[in-house]
Structure 1
């Protein structure tokens, strides 16, 4: 894929990590597609939400930044499947958990957006 597309996804992921760290639904709405599918695949905690319900959870959450948690997040992999489809694997820690996110993105003609967020978590590993 083009360097510009890669740069767009890198910038999107910075907003993603920042929005989660701040629990800021305004930032996150710039990342997610209006038809988002949000799926928690952690055994015993399966959950399926749309964008509206997920943003309501974000708005009700105490921001990890306010609790003094460090902002973490890393992109493990970006894969393009043409000019309009991509997948990102990411990791982050917050709220006492380590998360692995599988994000599917679509390009709507003007920008990239996450259309599916499928993730699982484990208790945070303390060093």
Structure 2
């Protein structure tokens, strides 16, 4: 069963995930995502599905929230491992004026833990 080293590795992965999104850095994000990534926006009325290359194209076209000085907040709510090869992260992030709720499935590869699926929804902020 997985233990502390895997937890440390996944938390490091999540730091790169949050940083890559905030800085719109596809190079960093490619170190987080599996080549077979499935990206799903499950927000009501905005369903989208794409693979890694389409998502990285979107990231590269985005104005990085960091350059605008957007406030940022991230929370890892839960990390769960099912054996040595798969896991799940429940997280949330606030950036670009929105609250994102993520469910990320993980797979342990020869290159370490990677996000295989990113399913998320956007909850508009209430100021």
TM-score where L is the length of structure 2: 0.96
Q: Aligned residue for 1:36?
A: 37
Tell me the secondary structure at the aligned position of residue 42 of structure 1: coil
Q: Where does structure 2 lack aligned partners over 5 or more consecutive residues?
A: none
Q: CA RMSD for the aligned pairs?
A: 0.8
1:71 Cα shift? 2.8
1:125, CA displacement in angstroms? 2.7
SS in 2 for 1:62: coil
The reply on whether 1:79 has 2:51 as its aligned counterpart is no
Residue 18 of structure 1: aligned partner:
19
TM-score, normalised on structure 1? 0.96
Q: Using the TM superposition, give the Cα deviation of residue 124 of structure 1 relative to its aligned residue in structure 2, in angstroms.
A: 1.7
Show CA shifts across 1:57-111 (max 9, x none): 0000000101111232110000000100000000001112101000000001340
What residue in structure 2 maps to residue 101 of structure 1? 102
- Secondary structure of 2:8 counterpart: helix
Moved over 2 A (4+): none
Alignment coverage as a number of residue pairs = 126
Please state which structure has a larger fraction of its residues in strand: 2
Secondary structure at 2:67 match in 1: coil
Partner of 1:125: 126
SS of 2:118 mapped into structure 1:
strand
Unmatched tracts of structure 1, length 5 or more: none
